[in-house]
Amino acid sequence: MRWKTSTTSRFILQIPIHLDCEVACDASVINTLKKEEEVKKYGQTMINMLRLFSERRSTTGTLGYANKYNKRRIIMITRFKKSSAICAVLAVSLTIMVGCASTIKPGSAQVIPNENNDTNRSTLSVEKSSQDEATQSNTTQGNTSQASQSNTTQVITSKASASNNNTDASSSNGDAQRELLSRIMKLAKQGKIINSEFPVKTTVIEDIEKKLGKPEKVDWVPNAKGNYAVFSKYNVVFGFNKGSQIFEARSFDKKLNEISLSMVKKVFGTPAYDVESNGEEILGYVANSEFKILLVFPKPSNSNSDPVMDHYSVLYPRGTFNNMSNDPGRQW
């Protein structure tokens, strides 16, 4: 009911506006006619049409207007003056503006799109898409650049860290070698090796056998001036003379494999004894007036210019003397 009432009211209110438009249109047309006969002819034609439309019809829905509205047009045509043409044109313009304004409600969401809107919308969409793509591209490039910089930084950091680690490891290894060499020299002054409690000079082979058991083998070595008992389980070998006195103790401890030839020379200095024999290089140092140290390395080569120690021994030279045969014994 509300919709029907609103529609009917709108129709009734628009009838006067529509009629005013028609009157103004008649005035505008007549103003363009130059001859009076043409004006009369147009006026007579319009009057005949209005009279025809004003007749009552028996059929529902036929065209027609009330006589009181048609009379307005007839009066205007018969009494037309050119001076009123301007007012008529203004009336038409004002009526169109008012009528068009009344057909669109304020705040209405129904806006008819046109080609320009579509074009503008498409253009904006393309521009926005291009901007988005450009933004994404810049973002991707930025991320790639940042990732590349990050990877480069990580590589540099990794290399620096590896270099520092190598330096630290080398420094730590050097310290360990120095410490072990210091211990070797300290014990050598007591006539001992690092992995045995039995000193040379004051120990006999029987004392060792009591604690370590029988040796695996005993060999006579003429050039060494004595017998050598091998205790491979304990990584030691003991040389003893005819009086069973221990004159040499050899160590094959695995820790010795950490000491390089160059480090020995760096720590102990220039050796007092340095010979090459049977593919080995032997360095000799004096520990004190009674004991000497012999350090044995593989002979340096092109593939191994700085070999590590194989074994070493503490020597008591006087224990190799043989007074009965006038043998001066060994010095190294």
Question: CA–CA separation, 206 vs 228, rounded Å?
Answer: 13
Question: CA–CA separation, 275 vs 241, rounded Å?
Answer: 24
Residues listed for the chain: 332
Q: Which of 42, 20, 15 is nearest to 88 (CA)?
A: 20
pLDDT value of position 37: 73
- The DSSP code for 83 is G
pLDDT at 71 over 70: no
pLDDT at 116 over 50: no
* pTM passes above 0.85: no
Q: Which of 153, 157, 244 is nearest to 198 (CA)?
A: 244
pLDDT at 128 over 60: no
Question: CA–CA separation, 238 vs 215, rounded Å?
Answer: 10
pLDDT value of position 322: 86
| Averaged pLDDT for residues 52-68 | 53
Strand partners, 261: none
pLDDT value of position 44: 74
Query: For strand 217-221 and strand 226-231, is the pairing parallel, antiparallel, or unpaired?
Result: antiparallel
Who has greater pLDDT, 47 or 266?
Answer: 266
Who has greater pLDDT, 318 or 99?
Answer: 318
Q: How many CB atoms lie within 10 A of CB 271?
A: 18
| Averaged pLDDT for residues 272-290 | 98
Q: DSSP secondary structure string, 265-302?
A: HHHH-S-SEEEEETTEEEEEEE-SSS-EEEEEEEPP-S
Local confidence band at 306 (pLDDT 50, 70, 90 cut-offs): very high
Local confidence band at 133 (pLDDT 50, 70, 90 cut-offs): low
Q: How far is CA 250 from CA 139, 156, 233, 305, 323, in A?
A: 71, 48, 13, 25, 25
Do 180 and 259 form a contact (C-beta atoms < 8 A)? yes
Local confidence band at 294 (pLDDT 50, 70, 90 cut-offs): very high
| Averaged pLDDT for residues 311-315 | 99
pLDDT at 289 over 90: yes
Do 298 and 310 form a contact (C-beta atoms < 8 A)? yes
Who has greater pLDDT, 247 or 98?
Answer: 247
